[in-house]
Chain A
């Protein structure tokens, strides 16, 4: 099965061939590297930019104004913070011009911890991102969703922020992308650039097909009845493992993979909470003014009388960074044992 980096690459290739992508660009995005996570290897419209994140977002906005379809990569979301006002300009171009302009552009960026990334390769960005209006904000937790969300992002006429969890870039999918060769090694030989000299290399793209994950549609990752866990990205994969363990132990846990953070699938979350009466939101971002608090507020607004316990948020600790030594990351970013403990406590709480 394709890993997430390969899935993104396949989606971008599909976008170039069928959805009008004109430019895929960023720092080290073009040849020879094809992106620090290899997401852009061998793509025909990929090019290297100056090391200038603000210039990158400005370029994307300009290309969109000029009738192109750009996909800009910020190498790590840890370096997107100096772009906030340009991201805001992308998000408000349509509203501020009262509908005169719209800007079809995609910004993709790797996010989160889990790769021993220390202070500046472990940041999360979703809480800030969902605070920038006019954008659709997505984060896949598996390769096939990455493919489907990227195609939806490319096809959308508005700005879309595509966040890929760094820790999942090498994680293989569990389902084939439509058109993906069943033989993993064949895929590797077809689309992964060789180590060393790449001058004569060209990819042989498999005939991947149109497959879209619609925005605002969550995925029911695990069905259960006692507790609702809402998550996304790398944290989601921890939640499903924990849920499987707990289910074996007799505690039935429902896990919802949001996939789209803004606008998130309120109906899926409300329906689940109405069934279980208990909500846990799990993510890696720091806990104060965390996106999960927004999910909780909506649940309180809509499901208050269905709740059997106070909704809970398990998120990153409110500290300036994720430290390099494992002891720091382990104790500042949610881990499976903490998720399991939180689910158990919620399940045991009685009104």
Chain B
């Protein structure tokens, strides 16, 4: 049955600790990917260290499932915290990093963190910047017709909002009388590869572009998962029930630079993880030893995962022509 009302899960103590656990899951997974890149177990790396405080709450708040009753996700290449928080396995991310045949998202075809998970409505992540903003209104239209609380969530970076597709997304979501349930997320890390945003775009609060379309919008500190949780829950509540778009900008850090092409070295920007850990300790929700145990556990998981991935088959000539055309029954 299609739900008519959505209540966000409560942010209790257990959830606060779960957020930490998932942030560490994401960070350790990506640090393992960077290690794979450095040690010849993979090629290009791009991902989201520094965006966990926003990405993890987003993933936890997704109304997860298949079809228009549930949320569609039009993600970009810095969405691994969201997808890992939704329950994906770190080993699968390593498979895509290495390009194994067992990579469930692309069989070794796409770069790492380019997910495609149909049972969870995660449509293929595209390497083309910002095209997802032009596609999201399509699934949202199907959701508008379907009714219920399912929405289309689209994420991207700040520099990419200069593309016309961002404008398209806003325009197609606000046709009078045809407004669409799209949650636009902008992860603002102040960079587009090497170009500082402030030198090429007039806005720091890109969400304000929504004003011209009458789209409600907000800009938040994306390095604080508690702030992010509440802001996302509030925005989702609006989009789910008003069936109208919303723009949520999260100011985040880019801890390892743009990608492996810029070296993937640690940068001196605020790191959301130690900040959150200090808070958990201060609020007596955890101890330093307990938090360290979380890291150790994920490091072990990833160590074992890499051992396994290294043994797995790689695509060869016989796989090249697979899946050019679909030969089954139509219908997603």
A interface, CB within 8 angstroms of B:
20, 23, 49-50, 52, 54-55, 57-70, 85-86, 89, 93-104, 133-134, 136, 155-158
With A52-B171, A65-B123 already in contact, 4 other A-B pairs whose C-beta atoms are closer than 8 Å: A59-B141, A85-B128, A85-B131, A104-B330
Residue B280 CB within 8 A of the other chain: no
Q: B169 contacts which chain A residues (CB < 8 A)?
A: 55, 58
Q: Which residues of B contact A136 (CB under 8 A)?
A: 325
Q: For chain B residues 146-170, which have a beta carbon within 8 Å of chain A?
A: 152, 164-165, 168-169
Binds A, one of B53-61, B101-109, B218-226, B302-310: B101-109
Instruction: Find A64's partner among B138, B165, B323, B328 (CB 8 Å cutoff).
Output: B138
CA of A173 to CA of B21, assembled, Å = 67
B124 at the interface (CB under 8 A from A): yes
B140: which A residues are within 8 A, CB to CB?
A: 62
13 A-B contacts (beta carbon < 8 Å):
A50-B175, A55-B165, A58-B172, A62-B137, A63-B142, A66-B139, A85-B131, A93-B123, A100-B116, A101-B116, A101-B118, A134-B324, A157-B326
Q: Which residues of B contact A99 (CB under 8 A)?
A: 322-323, 326
With A and B bound together, what is the CA distance between A100 and B104 in angstroms? 9
Residue from B135, B142, B324, B332 in contact with A58 in the complex, judged by beta carbons closer than 8 Å? B135
- Find chain B residues with CB under 8 A from A103 CB: 332
Residue of A nearest to B319 (CB): A98
Kindly state whether residue B143 has any CB partner on chain A within 8 Å. Answer: yes
User: In angstroms, how far is the closest chain A Cβ from the Cβ of B122?
Assistant: 9
Of B106, B114, B152, B329, most buried by chain A (CB within 10 Å of CB) is B106
* B131 touching A58, Cβ below 8 Å: yes
Q: Which residue of A lies closest to B119 (CB)?
A: A100
Asked if A98 meets B123 with Cβ closer than 8 Å, knowing A54-B134, A62-B140, the reply is no
Taking a contact as CB atoms under 8 Å apart, the answer to whether B131 and A67 are in contact is no
| Closest residue on chain A to residue B329 by CB atoms | A157
- The answer to whether B326 and A62 have CB atoms under 8 Å apart is no
Nearest A-chain residue to B74, judged by Cβ? A62
- Measured between alpha carbons, how far is A50 from B135 in the docked complex, in Å? 14
- Residues on B with C-beta less than 8 A from A55 are 134, 137, 165, 168-169, 171-172
Judged by DSSP, the binding face of B is loop
B317 to nearest A CB, angstroms? Answer: 15
Tell whether, in the assembled complex, residue B168 and residue A52 are in contact, meaning their CB atoms are under 8 Å apart.
yes
Closest beta carbon of chain A to B325's beta carbon, Å: 5
Closest to B175 in A: A50
CA–CA, A94 and B330, complex, Å: 12
CB neighbours (8 Å) of B136 from chain A are 58, 62
Q: In angstroms, how far is the closest chain B Cβ from the Cβ of A177?
A: 23
B118 x A158 contact (CB < 8 A)? no
Contact A100–B118 (Cβ < 8 Å)? yes
Bound form: Cα–Cα A23–B109 in Å: 32
Report whether A104 and B331 are in contact in the complex, using a CB–CB cutoff of 8 Å: yes
Report the bound CA distance from A106 to B107 in whole Å.
27
Q: Is the CB of B106 within 8 A of A96?
A: yes
Q: Are A98 and B109 in contact (CB under 8 A)?
A: yes
- Which B residues contact A (CB, under 8 angstroms)? 67-68, 72, 103-107, 109-110, 114, 116-118, 123-124, 126, 128, 131, 133-143, 152, 164-165, 168-169, 171-172, 175, 322-332
What residues on B are CB-neighbors of A155 within 8 Å? Answer: 330
Q: Are A50 and B171 in contact (CB under 8 A)?
A: yes
Q: Which residues of A contact B128 (CB under 8 A)?
A: 85, 89
Verify A58–B165 contact, CB threshold 8 A: yes
B106 touches A67 (CB 8 A): no
Is B72 in contact with A66, judged by CB distance below 8 angstroms?
yes
Q: Is the CB of B324 within 8 A of A95?
A: yes
A66 to B329, CA, bound (A): 15
Query: In the complex, A77 Cα to B165 Cα: how many Å?
Result: 20
Residue of B nearest to A59 (CB): B138
In the complex the two chains form, is B106's CB within 8 Å of A97's CB? yes
Known contacts A59-B138, A96-B116, A101-B123; is-contact A133 B175 (Cβ 8 Å)? no
CA of A315 to CA of B41, assembled, Å: 50
Known A-B contacts A50-B175, A54-B164, A104-B330; the reply to A62 vs B118 at CB < 8 A is no
A95 touches B323 (CB 8 A): yes
Q: How far is the CB of B83 from chain A (nearest CB, A)?
A: 14
Q: Known: A58-B168, A97-B106. Contact between A64 and B332, CB under 8 A?
A: yes
Docked Cα-Cα span, A55 to B331, in Å, equals 22
- Bound form: Cα–Cα A204–B137 in Å: 33
Q: Which residue of A lies closest to B108 (CB)?
A: A98
| Also in contact, A97 and B330, with CB within 8 A (given A50-B175, A62-B136, A64-B138) | no
Query: Is there contact, CB below 8 Å, between A62 and B141?
Result: yes
Which of A62, A63, A94, A98 meets B325, CB within 8 Å? Answer: A94
- State the CA gap A68–B142 with chains docked (Å): 7
Alpha-carbon gap, A49 to B168, bound state (A): 11
Give the CA-CA distance A49 to B327 in the complex, in Å.
31
Complex Cα spacing A99 to B67, Å:
17
Q: In the bound complex, how far is the Cα of B124 from the Cα of A95, in angstroms?
A: 10
Known contacts A97-B106, A100-B118; A61/B328 CB under 8 A: no
Q: Which residues of B contact A156 (CB under 8 A)?
A: 330
Report chain B residues within 8 Å CB of A89.
126, 128, 131, 135
- What distance in Å separates the Cβ of A69 from its nearest Cβ neighbour in chain B? 7
Collect the chain B residues with CB atoms within 8 Å of residue A97's CB. Answer: 105-106, 116, 118, 124, 323
On chain A, the residues within 8 Å of B138 by CB distance are: 58-66, 68, 70
Task: Tell which of B105, B109, B124, B139 touches A62, judged by Cβ atoms closer than 8 Å.
Answer: B139
From B68, B106, B324, contact of A133 by CB (8 A): B324
Closest Cβ of chain A to B231, distance in Å, is 25
Give chain B residues whose Cβ lies under 8 Å from the Cβ of A96: 106, 109-110, 114, 116, 124, 126
Q: How far is the CA of A84 from the CA of B11 in the complex (A)?
A: 44
B106/A98 in contact, CB under 8 A: yes
A100 proximity list for chain B (CB < 8 A): 105, 116-118, 124
Question: A50-B171, A58-B138 known; A65 and B116 CB under 8 Å?
Answer: no
Report the bound CA distance from A98 to B114 in whole Å: 12
Chain A residues near B326: list those with CB within 8 A: 94, 99, 102, 157-158
Residues of A with C-beta under 8 A to B105? 97-98, 100
